[in-house]
Amino acid sequence: MTLVETIAEARRTGDLEPVVERIPYLQWMGIEMGVEDGAVLATMRYGDRLIGNFVHRALHGGTLGALLESAAVFELLHAGRGETLPRIVNITVEYLRSASDRDTYASASLVKVGRRVANVRAIAWQDDPSRPVASAHCHFLV
């Protein structure tokens, strides 16, 4: 099955995992994709290799950027935008709190999907969605 076919199938069934399984980096990072209340929920399973500061047991900031970008990509896919993986133009990540050595979650919302470009915001948290650890806004070609 081609990637386009896998994506089309995932849209039909609502199961995003077959797409995740096609993307080596997401597997390696321990990033999973599910759908809750009609929106994509991305989960980054804790692993020691995600650590950026071994004294404070804090996650590497780059892993949060990767999670936020991935949540935005899958929200676009889930919303039925484009046949294949959307191409990212840019991302701005804002770091709000230190993230500790446990699972991290992210969700994204489509602010505007135009004819050329989509504007997406994403937020990442650990225990409490009202206390985000990082947020991002990104542009994608659609």
Residue ranges binding another protein (CB under 8 A): 2-3, 22-29, 48-56, 59-63, 65-67, 69-70, 84-85, 87-95, 98
What is the nearest approach in angstroms of another protein to the Cβ of residue 71? Answer: 11
Instruction: Give whichever of 35 and 51 is closer to another protein, judged by the CB atom.
Output: 51
What is the nearest approach in angstroms of another protein to the Cβ of residue 6? Answer: 10
Instruction: Give whichever of 67 and 123 is closer to another protein, judged by the CB atom.
Output: 67
- Determine the straight-line distance between the first and last CA of the chain, rounded to whole angstroms: 23
What is the nearest approach in angstroms of another protein to the Cβ of residue 115? Answer: 20
Instruction: Give whichever of 20 and 79 is closer to another protein, judged by the CB atom.
Output: 20
Say what the alpha-carbon torsion angle 131, 87, 92, 36 is, to the nearest 10 degrees.
-10
| Residue 51 near residue 44, CB atoms below 8 Å | no
Q: d(Cα 80, Cα 43) in Å, to the nearest integer?
A: 21
Instruction: Give whichever of 29 and 120 is closer to another protein, judged by the CB atom.
Output: 29
| Residue 75 near residue 107, CB atoms below 8 Å | yes
